[in-house]
Structures are given as C-alpha cells and as structure tokens.
A and B are shown apart, each in its own frame.
Chain A
C-alpha cells in the first residue's frame, strides 16, 4: 500500500465524516480505489484512523493529513473549473491526479491565485490553509491597482508592472518605488498624486501599471 492509496483512503473517510457517515461500507463506496479490510487495519496500526466495530473514525494525526489532501483536491477542482474552464463532469480524474502534487507553497500560491475560495465547485467546504488565515487578517490590506483608490485616499506602492522599460525608469526617476506612500489628489481629467511633498500629474494609462497596498483605517488585531 503506497502513500497515494493512503491518501485516497483518508480522503474517503473525511468526505464520509463530512456527511455524518462513519460506516466502513460508506467509506468503501466513496473510495476511488478498491478497499480491503487489511488496508483499514494498516491505517489503524499507523494511528491514522481508529476502527471501532463498523465505524471508521479519523484520529488527530489522520485528520491533519486528510485535511491537506481534501484541500488540494478541492482547490484542484476550482482551478480546473475557474481557470481552465473545464465542465464539472470532467474534472474528477485530473483533480485526483493533481492532489498528489506536493508542496504547501504551491498550493497556497494556487489558493491565493484563486482568491482563497471557500467552497469547491460541488459546494463542499474547502479546508483553510495558512494562506487563507493570513489573507483574512490582512483582507483590508489587499494589493489593488492604484485606479481602485478614490480621490483623497492614500496607499503604499506594492509594485509596478513593467509597462516598457522607459516608462518604468521614468516612474522610478520621479521617485515612485515600492514602499513609497502616495495620495490620490484627483482622478480626472488626469491623475494628480501627492508624493511626499511634491505633486505629480500622470495619464490614467500609466496608473494602470502601479499597484498599491490599500491603507486600512484600523488594523485588525491578529488572531481574531
């Protein structure tokens, strides 16, 4: 029995538990691979599940591992549906293959890319990753294009897209750089940005290349 099969089995136990089903039969029905009593025994021995009579329950250790695999599976589904525009009935097989791709950083990246989705395309909850918790804390601090600020608001430059070498160099020579705080003074007919103590007028088309951390009025205390 390889890691791949253990993952599949744990995933099946998790999805059953989610629906309030704990019987071995139900798990057998949900599992993508043929399930034998020996496999359950082995997981029990490894301390991932606890078998009690007909019931199959996840231990703390098993739950941890199952959460990760379920999260990956459901994120894969979202990725396939949202980004690759695949129909719902065709995503199961590739999602099952994707989920075994290792690396938390990769999955947090995908999760961020997708905007930390809460549910899979089928409506089941996607378990949260660390990236989701961090994003929630800094939700009000998100990076937005400068055009998203209204007149009078200020923000800190997060990054500037390279819209041609000349343009970026020009912006840098005017003092625009990541970390600099700018204030939008007006938006039409051209942007006027307050910058330290100087003012700079620019075309709206240049603004599209500047991204900022939106400034929050109140920091949300961590842990809430």
Chain B
C-alpha cells in the first residue's frame, strides 16, 4: 500500500463507479467545474479533469466514465483499467448508488485487486433513506478496510466529509481465492516483478489484478503483459496460468467471479437493513407503465407527440419565425444592407448577397438552426434526466434484434439524433464487434440535431404527414440496411442486459442549463464552419468554379437524382457541416428552384452522405483507417443509391406531392 495521499503531491484522484451514480455531480461539487452529467451507460467517454484542494494542495481530479464492472473484455472496462494503471492515481473514490449497495460492493472488491488507496462514497443517500434503507457505515468501513462516507452530490452535501476521508484512504479489502489460485498469483507476480524492469507503485499493486485476469484468459491482460513485459514473460505467465487452470474442473474465472459475488453479498447482508416503504412510490408505478407494452406504447407515442409539438412546432415554426423571419429578415439583414451601402460591390455581396455571410451564414446558423436545436437539446435532456430512454429500449428490443442489435441499440440511435459524433462514441457500450460495426453504420446515416433542425424548418411549410413520411422512410431504410448488415457482418447475436435507472422528477433548471451549454457549444463550433463554408461557396461562385463543379456533378446530381445543378453546392456545403447544406437547401426551396420531392431526395442524400469531420475522425480512430474508408465509401454509394431510388420511384408513381 502507498503512503497517505495527503503526504505526496503526485498523482490524481480518480472518481470511478457505475453509470448514473452521480459521479459527475460529485466531480462538479469537488472541482467546482461543470462536467457533462446525465450521460447514458458508457456514453460519457471523455474523462473530465479538474482540480481541487486537498490538505492545502491542489490535486488533479479525474472523472472516469461510468462502467458496469472492471473485469471484462469490452472497451468500457478497458478505459477504467487504463486510467488505474497509467495515471498512477493517489487514490480512487468509488462512487456508488446507496440504493444499489450490492453492486457497488462487487466493484469495490474488484477494485481492491488493484491495491489503490480508496474511499467509498455512497451517493444519493437522500433517495436511499427515503426508501427506508439504512447502512451501517462504521461496520461497512471495517469490513471493506477503507473509509466510507455518504454524499448527496446533487444537493451539494457530503463533499467535506469525503475530502476528510481521503486522508485515510486505503485499498479495499482483498479476497483470498483459495490455495491453488493464490499460489498461481504468487508465481505470476514473481514473473512480472523481474528486476530489469522496475515497477511503478501502481503496477506493483496491480500485479495481483493482472494475474487474476491472466487466469481468466483475459485477452486485454495478455496484451498488456506483452506490451509491458515482452513476449517471453507473457509466455511464462500464460503457461503458469494454464497449469493452474488444469487443476480446476471448470473455468477459474467463474470460480473467482462467484467468490467475489459471494463476498459482496455477505458484506451487503451484514450492513444493510431495509424498513419496508409504506407504499410503492409513484416513480415505481410510472416505471412499470413505461415498460409494459400496453401502457408503454401509448406513452412512447405521447413522448413522440410532445417532441413534435415542442421541437417541430414551437422550435421549428414559432421560434424560427421569430429568429429567421423577424430578427434576421426584418432587422439585422436590412441593417447590414444599409451599413454596407457605400462598400464595394464584392464586399456587399460577400455580406448580404446570395451566399452572404450575414444573409446566409448567420441567418441560417443563428436564426434557423439554433432555436430548433435549443428546443431539441432541452427535450432530449428532459428524457435523459427522467430516465426514459433505457425504458424505450425494452419496447424496442425485438425490433432492434431484427437489425442485429438489441434494446441497447436505442442509445446510440437516439444519440445519433442528437449528435452523430457522440453516437459513434457510444457504440462502445456494445460487447461484440458485430454490434459495433452495425451500430456505427446505422448511426452514420442519422440526421443529427442541427440537421434535424434544418429538416424541421424545411418541412414546416409542408403538411405534417410529409414529415412523418420522411422519417418513416428513413426508419424503413435503416431497418432494411440493418437486416442486410445482420446477415453480412459475421458473429453471434449479443445478449440484452441493461440496468434501468430510477425514474425521477427532472430538475428543470439543470436541464435548461445543460441545453443552454450544448447550444452555446454548438454555436462555438459550428458558426466558424458555417461562415467558412458560405464564404468558400461564395468565392467558388465568384471564380466561376461553381459552374465547373456543377457541370462535374451534373451526371449524378441531375440525371441520377433529378435535382437542379445548384444542389451540388448544397452537397459541397454539407460535406463541411451537414446542417449548413440543409440551410442552403432551404434557400433553394424558398426561391422555387426545387420542388418538394427534390427537397426530400436532397435531404435523404445529405442525411446518408458524409458524416461531419468530427465523426469521421472518430470513426477512423475507433475502427482504423481501412475499415473507416470502407464505411464511408459504402455510405456515399448508399446515399446516392437511396436518393436515386426515391427519385425514380417518385417518377414511376407519377410525381405525386
């Protein structure tokens, strides 16, 4: 064990824990810095970093992504293990849901193998008390061999106690796994602590964990040993593990896991008492209604209706009318026009012309996309905060299974409606490569929130049913693609198992603040892109290059897709940022260059065509350049194919609507 954390000033303190235990709230409370809370199961991948004062010294605080365990081969486990081994933490704070003590204890026991000094923070203590749960904290602390504190981070309670407890942090109790396994662990530890490569204190503490994982034939552990200690050591260690495995009639991994579960259960039973709550709380009943098909489907439709009314009507019509129509159309653009009266023609056009920075870029970004986006972020945040989305996955499990995913797939798909980049990140919640590939491909063709905003604004002039047809068409295409991918991508179907967070009353201010932050972030990131894209198109137009591009694109755009040549610009802009293309599209439609069917075709092509730069980079990072270019090539061909198909079907049907 290492020395008392306050004694040194070196490593960071890492907050770890399951998803939805309020880690990030605690992080914000300690570091007085806002992180992205309320992320779903493993979707919060960025590890938040901040500082806080511990014993008069500033110490780095790391907010690790939520996990469902630490031993496993899917990526989420990997991130946490990597943090523990590479960051050389001073201490860890295990943040657990006080209502879910058994699972928290299981994680504590697993973390104990790493030997890092630790404190257990039982968060959401208020909720657990309300449910009649009492936990014997001193007893728990002595059984775990580490300090235990109660916190209610959402209300800012318990931070002081936690900081005080950190001074006495000590590693969680280690289990003894019986003679055979312990001997094997000793042998492997001896192999790994060969003198030529001195170990960091954390590595020394984690030898046991690595040994245990080698015994369980964990590929990740083998890779780590190979990387750090070389082939020879790995072979020796693997041989020792294999020899031990032979002594068991079944996999030692299971025996180890069962021992851990049993130990967690014993501690759990020793410290927790529950006095029965008076009645089933309303949240329980609500949760049940949401999960059962009979009541769940109407609720889902209701939620959809709310989304449409709030985002589609209030955001895309009322607010856009105010922003684009009033603010920009009647005030800002005329003002700029007056301002620029005396400027040379070139500058005037650049500012308020056909591809003007104010008349197009700012109008579209701020007047059109932002209002819809803000309403979308708010309502999406509301659903997340309530805990609705995992419940939707129950209703959709079967459907998602037909496309090779399972209920969990709803998370990346819903996130895809928010931001494709976040959705691609979230595909790491899947355990199998097959699911990851399918989900990434499906998500790449999702209309993300900014694009959705532009789409909603475009459709606001058409009857409602056309919008539903559009989404139905996208859903239909997705299902077809998914079914094909399910056949094409090799691998078995994965299990669906998922924790449902509590249904809780949303903290409206919190959701509002988050939506505001997300919208601001969007503006910060997208506004320059909007301006650059518009200016680029303006310059191309001036240089006559636009004509050239139009002519080059004509065979595809005009003949195959039946679109006017101007649509090429839309696609160019959408390659830079998808919604900027959609916004330009709106101008084309408004000026009567495009009919409704052509608009739908353009939107479909844009939706499926090229993901934005951010998500592209991420796809490359997650899947490698080769796989990523195959994915992008597939989606470009696919976009053109879908657009052409819709165009020709539309023609064959005689050109209705």
> B605: which A residues are within 8 A, CB to CB?
none
> B498: which A residues are within 8 A, CB to CB?
200-202
> B288: which A residues are within 8 A, CB to CB?
185-186
Q: Are A197 and B407 in contact (CB under 8 A)?
A: no
Q: Are B265 and A177 in contact (CB under 8 A)?
A: yes
Complex Cα spacing A188 to B128, Å = 29
A11 to chain B, nearest CB (A): 38
B252-285 residues with Cβ-Cβ distance < 8 A to A are: 253-254, 257-258, 260-262, 264-265
User: How does the 8 Å CB contact mask read for B92-107 relative to A, with 1 for contact and 0 for none?
Assistant: 0000010111110010
Complex Cα spacing A51 to B261, Å = 62
| B390 part of interface (Cβ distance < 8 Å) | yes
| A61 part of interface (Cβ distance < 8 Å) | no
Q: Are A179 and B265 in contact (CB under 8 A)?
A: yes
| A173 part of interface (Cβ distance < 8 Å) | yes
Q: Are A189 and B99 in contact (CB under 8 A)?
A: no
Query: Of B72, B393, B395, B500, which one neighbours A170 at CB under 8 angstroms?
Result: B72
For chain A, give the interface size range. Answer: 20 to 34
Complex Cα spacing A172 to B395, Å = 25
B643 to chain A, nearest CB (A): 35
Query: Of A169, A203, A206, which one neighbours B71 at CB under 8 angstroms?
Result: A169
> B106: which A residues are within 8 A, CB to CB?
172-173, 175
Q: Are B394 and A201 in contact (CB under 8 A)?
A: yes
Q: Which of A167, A179, A190 has the most CB of B within 10 A?
A: A190
Complex Cα spacing A135 to B291, Å = 38
B387-423 residues with Cβ-Cβ distance < 8 A to A are: 390, 393-395, 397-398, 406-407
Complex Cα spacing A203 to B395, Å = 12
Q: Are B254 and A162 in contact (CB under 8 A)?
A: yes
Q: Are B99 and A203 in contact (CB under 8 A)?
A: no
Complex Cα spacing A215 to B394, Å = 27
For chain B, give the interface size range. Answer: 35 or more
Query: Of A162, A166, A172, A205, which one neighbours B260 at CB under 8 angstroms?
Result: A172
Q: Are A201 and B407 in contact (CB under 8 A)?
A: yes
Complex Cα spacing A179 to B500, Å = 22
Complex Cα spacing A199 to B495, Å = 17
> B254: which A residues are within 8 A, CB to CB?
162, 165, 168-169
B259 to chain A, nearest CB (A): 10
A140-180 residues with Cβ-Cβ distance < 8 A to B are: 162, 165-180
Complex Cα spacing A165 to B407, Å = 22
Q: Are A173 and B72 in contact (CB under 8 A)?
A: yes
Q: Are A169 and B496 in contact (CB under 8 A)?
A: no
A165 to chain B, nearest CB (A): 6
Q: Are A175 and B394 in contact (CB under 8 A)?
A: no
> B398: which A residues are within 8 A, CB to CB?
189
Q: Are A199 and B260 in contact (CB under 8 A)?
A: no
Given contacts A170-B497, A171-B497, A190-B496, contact A198 B260 (CB under 8 A): no
A179 to chain B, nearest CB (A): 6
Query: Of A170, A179, A185, A198, which one neighbours B291 at CB under 8 angstroms?
Result: A185
Q: Are B497 and A200 in contact (CB under 8 A)?
A: yes
User: How does the 8 Å CB contact mask read for A69-100 relative to B, with 1 for contact and 0 for none?
Assistant: 00000000000000000000000000000000
User: How does the 8 Å CB contact mask read for B42-76 relative to A, with 1 for contact and 0 for none?
Assistant: 00000000000000000000000000110111000
> B394: which A residues are within 8 A, CB to CB?
189-190, 192, 201
| B11 part of interface (Cβ distance < 8 Å) | no
| B251 part of interface (Cβ distance < 8 Å) | yes
> A190: which B residues are within 8 A, CB to CB?
394, 397, 407, 496
| A54 part of interface (Cβ distance < 8 Å) | no
B375-396 residues with Cβ-Cβ distance < 8 A to A are: 390, 393-395
Question: Which residue of chain A has the shortest Cβ distance to B251 in the bound complex?
Answer: A165
Query: Of A165, A167, A177, A200, which one neighbours B499 at CB under 8 angstroms?
Result: A200
Q: Are B495 and A202 in contact (CB under 8 A)?
A: yes
| A196 part of interface (Cβ distance < 8 Å) | yes
A44 to chain B, nearest CB (A): 50
Interface contacts beyond A172-B261, A173-B71, A180-B102: sample of 19 additional A-B pairs, CB < 8 Å, sorted by A: A162-B254, A168-B254, A175-B100, A176-B261, A185-B288, A186-B291, A186-B292, A188-B293, A190-B496, A196-B101, A196-B102, A197-B99, A198-B100, A200-B499, A201-B390, A202-B497, A202-B498, A203-B496, A206-B497
- What are 29 A-B contacts with C-beta separation under 8 Å? A162-B250, A167-B495, A169-B72, A169-B254, A169-B257, A170-B431, A171-B497, A172-B106, A173-B257, A174-B103, A175-B102, A178-B261, A179-B265, A180-B265, A185-B288, A188-B293, A196-B101, A196-B102, A197-B133, A198-B97, A198-B103, A200-B500, A201-B390, A201-B407, A201-B499, A202-B496, A205-B495, A206-B496, A206-B497
Q: B residues bordering A, Cβ < 8 Å?
A: 68-69, 71-73, 97, 99-103, 106, 128, 131, 133, 250-251, 253-254, 257-258, 260-262, 264-265, 287-288, 291-293, 390, 393-395, 397-398, 406-407, 431, 495-500
9 pairs of A and B residues whose beta carbons are closest in the complex:
A177-B261, A173-B69, A197-B99, A199-B500, A203-B496, A175-B103, A172-B257, A202-B497, A198-B100
